[in-house]
Amino acid sequence: MRESALETIIGAAVLGVAAVFMWFAIGNGTDRAEASSGTVELGARFNSAKGINVGTEVSMAGVKVGTVRNIRLNTERAEALVTLAISRDLVPLDDGTTARIQSEGLLGGSYINLEPASGFGQIEPCPQGEELFGESGCGEILYTQGSVDLLTLMASFASGSGDDSSSSASGSYDNTMSSPEDDAGVNTDSPQSNGSVSDTEDEPAGETE
For 162-198, what is each residue's pLDDT tens digit? 555 444 444 444 444 444 444 444 454 444 444 444 4
Q: Both 22 and 47 in a single domain? A: no
Quick one: 26 and 104 in the same domain?
A: no
Domain count, the chain: 2
66 neighbors 54 (Cβ within 8 angstroms)? no
Mean of the pLDDT values across residues 151-155? 63
Confidence (pLDDT) at 97: 97
Q: Which domain holds residue 125?
A: 40-152
Question: Distance between CA atoms of 83 and 49, rounded to whole angstroms?
Answer: 12
Alpha-carbon distance 179 to 34, whole Å?
A: 81
Do 29 and 48 lie in one domain? The reply is no
The C-alpha angle 189, 195, 198, rounded to 5 degrees, equals 150
Quote the pLDDT of residue 10. 77
Residue 85, CA atoms < 13 Å, CB-side half-sphere: 15
Query: How confident is the model at residue 169, as a pLDDT?
Result: 45
Whether residue 144 sits in one domain with residue 59: yes
23-56 tens-digit pLDDT = 554 444 444 444 445 999 999 999 999 999 999 9
What would you report as the CA-atom Rg of the chain, rounded to the nearest whole angstrom? 39
Q: Give the least confident one: 102-111, 121-130, 146-155.
A: 146-155
- Look at residues 152, 171, 189 and tell me which one is the last residue of a structural domain: 152
Q: Which has the higher per-residue pLDDT, 33 or 9?
A: 9
The answer as to whether 172 is a domain residue is no
Instruction: With a cut of 90, say whether residue 117 has pLDDT above it.
Output: yes
Cα–Cα distance between 51 and 146 in angstroms, integer? 10
Looking at every residue in the chain, the average pLDDT score rounds to 75
